[in-house]
Amino acid sequence: MSKTTPATVALTKAGVAFELFAYDYDPDAPRVGLQAAQAVGKAPEQVFKTLMTLVDGAPACVIAPSDCEISMKKLAAAIGGKSAQMMKPADAERLTGYKVGGVSPFGQRKTVPTVMDETAVLFDQILINGGQRGLLLGVAPEAAARAAGARLVDIKA
């Protein structure tokens, strides 16, 4: 496993400190984010998943705790749209340059509107995918939001 990904390069370039957490990725896990949290010994609400969505047909990125569901209505409103849906995995891979299960909000091929669930600030450090399956990055929430160009909003269902 490479410890250098477009995500780690982007964070380093932005001067954002991060910690690497490698784990054995299980593609068959019912909820990959929960499996990742368990594998690294962190609370599920501290390990954030990265989801690629469409808001009124335009791509958007969502960073949310691995143990929660996203309110598509709240997401659409946060981006300034009327409706939201999940992006197809193949489209997410093409847009971001990452494989599903390894999508990071950092270092994506194209900049898209990004939101992060506001509960991130409850922690000194959150873990976010590092750009490949089995690699998480521990980052201060405010620094992560800044590096991802994310607004902190309530997006939980």
Q: How many residues does the chain have?
A: 157
Positions of E strands within 2-87: 19-22, 47-55, 58-65, 84-86
pLDDT digits (tens, 9 = 90+) for 17-67: 999 999 988 888 778 888 888 889 999 999 999 999 999 999 999 999 999
Work out the burial of residue 104: count CB atoms within 10 Å of its CB; fewer than 13 is exposed, 13-18 middle, 19 or more buried. buried
For residue 135, which amino acid is it? L
Kindly tell me if the per-residue pLDDT of 82 is higher than 80.
yes
Alpha-carbon distances, residue 54 vs 33, 60, 65, 73 (angstroms):
21, 6, 19, 12
Do 63 and 114 contact (CB within 8 A), yes or no?
yes
Q: In the chain, count of helices (H) and strands (E)?
A: 5, 8
Q: What is the pLDDT, as a whole number, of residue 31? A: 82
Which is higher by pLDDT, 34 or 125?
A: 125
**Model confidence at 92: pLDDT above 70:** yes
Q: What pLDDT sits at residue 137?
A: 96
d(CA 93, CA 119): 27
- Domains of the chain (ranges; CATH) run 6-153 (3.90.960.10)
